[in-house]
Every structure is written in C-alpha cells, then in structure tokens.
Amino acid sequence: MTKLTLTTHPFLLGFDQLERLVERTAKSGNDGYPPYNIEQTSENSYRITLAVAGFAEDDLSITVEDRQLVVRGRQGDAEEERVFLHRGIAARQFQKSFVLAEGVEVDKAAVENGLLHIDLKRTEPDTIVQTIPINRT
C-alpha cells in the first residue's frame, strides 16, 4: 500500500508549493533569540512583536522574499571599548524568519520601547465564478 502525502492525493492538485513551505518552515530551526509574540489583532490582521532592546532602527532590517519574512539585527562594533562587570542584556546579531501565507502582506513596522512591531494584513481574494465551455471533438 502506498502512502498518500499532500502532493500525491488525487483530489489535491497543485498543492506541492504548500508542502515545500511546510518543509522550509520545519528546517528554519529558529532559536529563542530574540523572544517574540505573534498575535491576531483582527480577523484579517496580525502583529509580530520582537524584543529588540539595545538595537537602533538602523541596526534592524526587514525583508520579504518568496513569502518569507526575514528580520535581521546587527549591532555596531562600538561596544568593544566598553568594559562590562556584568552583561545580562544580549547584544548578538540575529535572524528570525516567518513564512507568510498566500495573501498576507506586511502593512507597517515600527520600533517602540525596545519592541519591534511588524503589522501584517491578509487581503481577501475576490470570488471569481468562471464558466468553462465544453468543446465538441
């Protein structure tokens, strides 16, 4: 007996992209730094909040490529001259990735009180009814 997967089931045509997205998400292996929240702010909008204390706006970059939201943080080298007696605030570079569903777009991003807020919105596709003519052969 053959095992049915998402792309081999006869009723699910064209879902191979979804399977690739699931595999890419599983391989991303994000660690816990920086900590983040994901919240649903309305029926069609979401907010990702990352704790980025110590990072300036210029130290952060946000990109979207192939439905993958990537947030990177890199601090300057000005701290080399400082001598810490205790260092409890993490100041390392990071990269955090999130896979966005079809129709989800970044609306805006802002830094406030050491938190990076990225607002996302889902656009509802128009319902299209299409009649297909049947040709005689």
In CATH, what number is assigned to the domain containing residue 76? 2.60.40.790
Per the DSSP assignment, residues forming a β-bridge with 108 are 119
Tell whether the model's pLDDT for residue 102 goes beyond 70.
yes
Percent of the chain past pLDDT 70, that is, above it, reads: 75
Residue 127 lies in a domain: no
Residue 43: name the closest of 136, 131, 133, 124 by CA.
124
Percent of the chain past pLDDT 90, that is, above it, reads: 50
The CB-side HSE value for 69 (13 A sphere, CA atoms) comes to 17
CA–CA distance, 40 with 11 (Å, rounded to integer): 31
Tell me, what's the pLDDT at 5? 65
Tell me what the mean pLDDT of segment 53-61 comes to. Answer: 91
Encode pLDDT of 115-137 as tens digits.
Answer: 999 999 999 878 889 999 999 87
Residue owning tokens 């045509």:
13
Structural domain of 48? 30-122
Total domains, the chain: 1
Tell me, what's the pLDDT at 114? 93
Residue 15 lies in a domain: no
User: Whole-structure pTM over 0.75, yes or no?
Assistant: no
